[in-house]
């Protein structure tokens, strides 16, 4: 089990002003709500601060002189202050929470949209669980800072200032005694802050790793069952959760020392004021009401200090979350539209690969000086051993990756001059492992064209040979499918994928080993559907099962990133080269 610090680098500083500015910049569009919230907060705090002072007046001006009317008046004032404090605290909480949730909703949507735009190389590199953690717990940490942190900083700052002013107005000596404890509190807070610096990042990292492992385990549950690795998977998950628990407990242990220590110092301060103030009451220097009010303010004085210290924990957590969220938002997609890119509405389907050099790693080329011309409506089969570069060709055509050298043309237009959105509307892909979303069959097929009518979807289903599946399902097109198409076979998923491509009505079609891992009977249905789909379209078919490309107009054979043979099925067999050898192996197998 690797150490979790090795799993994800701890970046940046404990407090980064740049990150803080970016977080609070999110709140700028909500200036009105912020002003309203601050006003309500100040009113609630002022009403709360007035209560001990009213208590002082009630004791010294009413109780001491046994003045019942004044006592009733002060009692009414006291209740009004409680009511105002409760009312405006509730309003402040409502507006601040609404603002915070709106900001986080927008941030979460922005992150999701940005993740959709990032290149496949990013998604192939990053773990799904980590992305889930960014979208959930990291953004939740930012929400806590915006909704709770701002309230605490402004509200408690105002309360502290108000208490200091009121304490000094009542008795400077008692105020001085109170301030004697502040250096101790500040030293403790500084040490606490220093020790907490990396703990909160460690907590976030461990949660991210646990989330990632869980997502991966659920995605691979079938493999776990096949190999009966329940115990080992559970033990591995237990180790990861133990690491997470240890990270959390480090912060808990530190907080369990710090906060009780602050409580103890507060109690010592209260005892000191009670002893000294009590002697002054006995000596007649101050009144009982003043001492009672002073002790009330003193009790409120240390609370905001604790809250402001605790806000550092929230700040640390938010900084760690923001570091990773903004880190993703700052990643520029490598594949993006050129400034002069145009939308192309229609193409004939002519494709040219010109002197293409490409590798997923710059120092390891998959394709070298690759050249290929495909005529409109031509059906091209691509064969070759595993790792030869077959799928790389289609990845480049879809602009999922950019070649290091060379260019690709569609109808004579450089791919880089076509906007990505319009390019991918012109091309449809039927992959080896079709992805089916949770939802109805209708919604899955409409994914190819969202504005399609039900009649158009039904026509696509007919062409895709989906009649048998739909007829045996009580709700037909409106049948709900589970995650990844749970409840239907691999072949049926493939037919839905073909219907999706038919509905999209592309000019260029890519079939990436679309009949692999399919039983013979289903393969016949799929072949019929594919023939209908390819009709009149430029088609590129990649297959290891060479029987699927026998009828292609041309077959190209790729080895070590280069075209070694080209011709029809019969021509290549007569040549006796690599293709003939692959067919022989396929027929024997």
Do the bridges between strand 480-481 and strand 439-440 make them parallel or antiparallel, or are there none, so unpaired? antiparallel
Helix axes 150-170, 68-117, angle to 10 degrees: 150
Is 257 in the same domain as 214? yes
Say yes or no: 179 and 91 in one domain: yes
CA distance 88 to 41: 7
pLDDT of residue 455: 92
Torsion over CA of 393, 399, 404 and 408, rounded to 10 degrees? 70
Residues 417 and 372 in one domain: yes
- Give the C-alpha separation, 246 to 251, whole Å: 9
Question: Does 370 share its domain with 285?
Answer: no
| Same structural domain, 49 and 113 | yes
Per-residue confidence (pLDDT) for residue 72, from 0 to 100: 94
pLDDT confidence of residue 91? 93
Q: Do the domain assignments include residue 3?
A: no
Backbone angles phi, psi at 146, to 5 degrees: -70, -45
Instruction: Give pLDDT, residue 249.
Output: 87
SS3 196: helix
What are the DSSP calls for 199-252, one per residue?
A: HHHHHHHHHHHHHHHHHHHHHTHHHHHHTT-HHHHHHHHHHHHHHHHHHHHHHH
Same domain, 317 and 356: no
**Ordered DSSP codes for 314-381:** HHHHHHHHHHHHHHHHTPPPSS---TT-B--------EEEEEEEE-SBTTB-SEEEEEEEE-TT-EEE
Q: Is residue 418 part of a domain?
A: yes
Q: Are residues 253 and 106 in the same domain?
A: yes
Q: What DSSP string runs through 33-48?
A: HHHHHHHHHHHHHHHH
Q: Domain check: are 305 and 378 in the same one?
A: no
Residue 184 lies in a domain: yes
Is the CB of residue 490 less than 8 Å from the CB of residue 496?
Answer: no
Q: Do residues 315 and 360 share a domain?
A: no
| 56: in domain | yes
Residue 78: burial class (beta carbons within 10 Å; 0-12, 13-18, 19+): middle
**Do 122 and 221 have their domain in common?**
yes
Is 320:137 a contact under the CB 8 Å cutoff? Answer: no
Per-residue pLDDT of the chain (589 residues), as tens digits, is 344 343 444 444 556 788 888 888 888 888 888 889 889 999 999 999 999 999 999 999 999 888 899 999 999 999 999 999 999 999 998 988 888 889 989 999 999 999 988 888 888 888 777 888 788 888 988 888 887 777 778 888 888 899 989 989 888 888 888 888 778 877 887 777 667 766 766 777 787 788 778 877 776 776 676 666 778 888 888 888 888 888 888 888 888 887 788 788 888 888 888 999 999 899 888 999 999 999 898 888 877 877 776 777 778 778 888 888 998 999 988 888 888 889 998 899 999 999 999 998 878 889 989 999 999 999 999 988 887 888 889 899 989 899 999 999 999 999 999 998 889 889 888 887 788 888 888 998 888 788 889 999 998 888 888 888 888 888 888 888 877 777 788 888 888 888 888 888 889 999 886 555 556 666 678 778 888 888 889 999 987 677 778 888 999 999 888 899 999 988 888 888 888 888 887 776 5
Final residue of a domain: which of 282, 299, 329? 329
Q: Based on the fold, state whether residues 378 and 298 are members of the same structural domain.
A: no
Question: Is residue 5 in some structural domain?
Answer: no
Grouping H, G, I as helix, E, B as strand and the rest as coil, residue 384 is coil
Task: Say if 7 falls within a structural domain.
Answer: no
Q: Is residue 10 part of a domain?
A: no
Give the domain extent around 109: 15-329
What CATH number did the domain enclosing 582 receive?
3.40.50.300
What is the pLDDT at residue 584?
A: 81
Q: How many domains does the chain have?
A: 2
In a domain, 355, yes or no: yes
């Amino acid at each position: 089990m690797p150490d979790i610090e090795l799993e994800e680098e701890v970046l940046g500083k404990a407090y980064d002003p740049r990150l803080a500015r970016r977080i609070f910049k999110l709140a700028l569009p909500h200036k009105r709500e912020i002003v309203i919230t601050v006003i309500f907060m100040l009113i609630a705090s002022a009403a709360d601060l007035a209560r001990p002072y009213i208590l002082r007046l009630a004791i010294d001006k009413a109780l001491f002189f046994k003045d019942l009317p004044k006592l009733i008046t002060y009692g009414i004032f006291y209740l009004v202050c409680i009511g105002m404090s409760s009312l405006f605290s509730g309003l402040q909480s409502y507006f601040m929470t609404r603002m915070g949730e709106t900001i986080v909703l927008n941030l979460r949507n922005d992150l999701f949209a940005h993740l959709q735009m990032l290149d496949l190389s990013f998604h192939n590199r990053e773990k799904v669980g980590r992305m889930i953690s960014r979208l959930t717990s990291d953004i939740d940490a930012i929400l806590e800072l915006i909704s709770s942190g701002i309230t605490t900083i402004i509200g408690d700052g105002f309360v502290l200032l108000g208490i200091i002013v009121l304490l000094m107005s009542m008795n400077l000596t008692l105020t001085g005694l109170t301030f004697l404890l502040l250096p101790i509190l500040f030293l403790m807070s500084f040490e606490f802050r220093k020790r907490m610096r990396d703990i909160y990042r460690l907590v976030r990292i461990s949660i991210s790793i646990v989330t990632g492992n869980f997502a991966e385990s659920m995605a691979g549950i079938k493999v776990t069952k096949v190999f009966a690795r329940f115990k080992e998977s559970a033990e591995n998950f237990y180790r990861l959760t133990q690491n997470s628990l240890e990270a959390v407990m480090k912060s808990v242990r530190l907080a369990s020392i710090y906060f009780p220590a602050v409580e103890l110092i507060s109690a010592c301060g209260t005892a000191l004021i009670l002893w000294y103030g009590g002697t002054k009451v006995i000596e007649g220097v101050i009144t009982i009401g003043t001492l009672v009010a002073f002790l009330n303010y003193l009790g409120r004085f240390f609370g905001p200090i604790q809250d402001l210290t605790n806000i550092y924990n929230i700040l640390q957590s938010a900084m760690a979350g923001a570091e990773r969220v903004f880190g993703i938002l700052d990643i520029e997609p490598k594949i993006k539209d050129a400034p002069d890119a145009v939308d192309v509405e229609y193409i004939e389907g002519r494709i040219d690969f010109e002197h293409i050099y490409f590798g997923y790693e710059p120092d390891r080329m998959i394709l070298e000086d690759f050249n290929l011309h495909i005529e409109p409506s031509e059906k091209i089969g691509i064969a070759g051993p595993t790792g030869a570069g077959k799928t790389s060709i289609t990845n480049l055509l879809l602009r999922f990756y950019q070649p290091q050298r060379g260019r690709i043309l569609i109808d004579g237009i450089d791919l880089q001059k076509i906007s990505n959105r319009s390019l991918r509307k012109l091309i449809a892909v039927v992959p080896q492992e079709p992805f089916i979303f949770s939802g109805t069959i209708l919604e899955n097929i409409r994914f190819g064209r969202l504005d399609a009518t039900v009649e158009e979807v039904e026509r696509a289903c007919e062409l895709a040979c989906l009649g048998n599946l739909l007829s045996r399902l009580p709700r037909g097109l409106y049948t709900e499918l589970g995650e990844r198409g749970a409840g239907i076979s691999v072949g049926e998923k493939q037919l839905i994928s073909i219907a999706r491509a038919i509905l999209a009505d592309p000019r260029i079609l890519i079939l990436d080993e679309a009949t692999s891992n399919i039983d013979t009977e289903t393969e016949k249905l799929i072949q019929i559907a594919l023939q209908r789909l390819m009709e009149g379209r430029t088609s590129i078919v990649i297959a290891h099962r060479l029987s699927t490309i026998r009828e292609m107009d041309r077959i190209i054979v790729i080895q070590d990133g280069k075209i070694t043979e080209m011709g029809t099925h019969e021509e290549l067999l007569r040549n006796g080269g690599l293709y003939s050898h692959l067919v022989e192996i396929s027929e024997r197998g």
